[in-house]
Amino acid sequence: MISAGYNLVDNPQCGISSREDIVGKPAGLRWTPVEARWRGREEQMLTHALVPIAASPAVDSANENWCPEESLQDDRGIWPDDRALDGDGDGVARCDRGAYEIARNVIQAGGVNGLYFNPEADGHYVYVADTRFNTMVMWTTFDANRRQAWIFGIAKEAVAGRSLIADAYINRDGRVSLSGQFDPATSEHWGRIEVEMTSCDQGQFAFFSETPGFASGEFEIVRLAHVKRLGCAND
């Protein structure tokens, strides 16, 4: 295949290297139920689509010359003038790479901070801290053998105030003796964490790991608590 540019391929061994190709980065896609309104059908249709999260490098990064008026979810063009939408909330509307175009959905700065849990399996927690330099995610959970585990992810920023893709790490070899003496720990790469809040109080948490004792998957997260003085509102 000859690349004409503006592709996004997650496999780092892929040899395409045309203009603006992105190779070896996670696409940040979710297999998500969506309502589509396709040409020739009056009613909306419930289907599934590969929807990029707001932090995906696919969002708002397509070549404008190839930006069609239609997208997967509406081939009639539900947006009268252009498919291009401001998916990453930076104030500039551009088309996304791929078949699906995401709409603008921004959470006000600071709103993503807080504590979340999974209502279907309580006892695992996710903390998000949007700091002055980056955004951190702490996932306090368990491994497959029911041992306590904690994983932390660091992302540059919460895109649109609600979405992030973070390299994740696990710390090993630390210790706290019974008398309170500490051994330091060392970090090793664990995998990847993706957080996509769909509103102030709900979102999806996805994890990807090949570390022994862990796997990949995703689950819904619901807010347990807001940080005092930091409200949350959808813009």
Partner 1 sequence: MTERMSRVHKRLAPGLNGLLLCMCLCAVFSASLFAATHTVHVNDGSVPGLVAALEEAAGQPPSDSTVIVLSGKFVLPVGQGIPSIFYGDVTIRGGASAAVVTAEEGWVGPLFAIGEDARLRLANLEFIDIRLEWPGLIENRGELEINRVQFQKIVGITLCRNFGCYQYAGRIVTNHQTGQLRVDGVSFIDSGAGGNLIDKFNFGALLRNLGDATLSNVQVYLPSGLQVAPFANEGSLEIVNGSFYSREAVLDSTLLGSMSGTGTIANSIVVGFTPEWCEVIQSLGHNLVDNSDCPLSGENDLVGVEADLIFVPVEANWNPQGREILTNALEPLATSVAVDSGAPEYCTAGSLLSSDRMALDGDGDGVSGCDRGAVERVPATLDKGGINGLYFNPQADGHYVYIAETTYTTMVMWTTFDNQGRQAWVFGIGGEVSPSGRLITEAYINRNGAVRLDGTLKPANAAPWGRLEIRMQSCNRGRLIFDSDQPGFGSGEFPIQRLAIVDLLECVEGP
Which residue from 177, 161, 126, 136 is spatially nearest to 235, judged by alpha carbons?
161
Part in contact with partner 1 (CB under 8 A); list of ranges 6-14, 25-33, 40-48, 145-153: 145-153
- Rounded to the nearest whole angstrom, what is the least distance from the CB of residue 232 to partner 1 in the complex? 11
Token digits of residue 227: 């940080």
Count of other CB atoms within 10 angstroms of residue 86: 18
Q: Binding to partner 1 (CB under 8 A): which residues in 149-168?
A: 149-150, 152
Among 3, 32, 63, 141, which residue interacts with partner 1 (rule: CB under 8 A)?
Answer: 141
Can residue 19 be called a binding residue for partner 1 (CB under 8 A)?
no
Among 4, 45, 121, 233, which residue interacts with partner 1 (rule: CB under 8 A)?
Answer: 121
Among 103, 129, 222, 233, which residue interacts with partner 1 (rule: CB under 8 A)?
Answer: 129
Which of residues 39 and 229 has its CB atom nearest to partner 1 in the complex?
Answer: 229
Among 45, 103, 109, 233, which residue interacts with partner 1 (rule: CB under 8 A)?
Answer: 109
Yes or no: say if 49 and 72 are a contact pair by the CB < 8 Å rule: yes
Part in contact with partner 1 (CB under 8 A); list of ranges 53-61, 79-87, 182-190, 196-204: 182-190
Alpha-carbon distance of 203 to 223, in angstroms, equals: 9
Q: Number of residues in contact with partner 1, rule: CB under 8 A?
A: 64
Q: Binding to partner 1 (CB under 8 A): which residues in 194-223?
A: 207, 214-219
Among 3, 32, 134, 204, which residue interacts with partner 1 (rule: CB under 8 A)?
Answer: 134
Look-up of token digits 């368990």:
142
212 Cβ contact list (under 8 Å, min separation 6): none
Count of other CB atoms within 10 angstroms of residue 32: 16
Element (H, E) at 182: strand 182-183
Yes or no: say if 115 and 125 are a contact pair by the CB < 8 Å rule: yes
Among 4, 144, 222, 233, which residue interacts with partner 1 (rule: CB under 8 A)?
Answer: 144
Alpha-carbon distance of 33 to 21, in angstroms, equals: 28
What 3-state DSSP class applies to 147? coil
Which of residues 17 and 148 has its CB atom nearest to partner 1 in the complex?
Answer: 148
- Rounded to the nearest whole angstrom, what is the least distance from the CB of residue 144 to partner 1 in the complex? 5
Yes or no: say if 4 and 11 are a contact pair by the CB < 8 Å rule: no
Can residue 125 be called a binding residue for partner 1 (CB under 8 A)?
yes
Q: Cα(first)–Cα(last) distance of the chain, in Å?
A: 42
Site residues, partner 1 (CB under 8 A): 109-110, 113-115, 118, 120-125, 127, 129-134, 136, 138, 140-150, 152, 170-187, 207, 214-219, 225-230
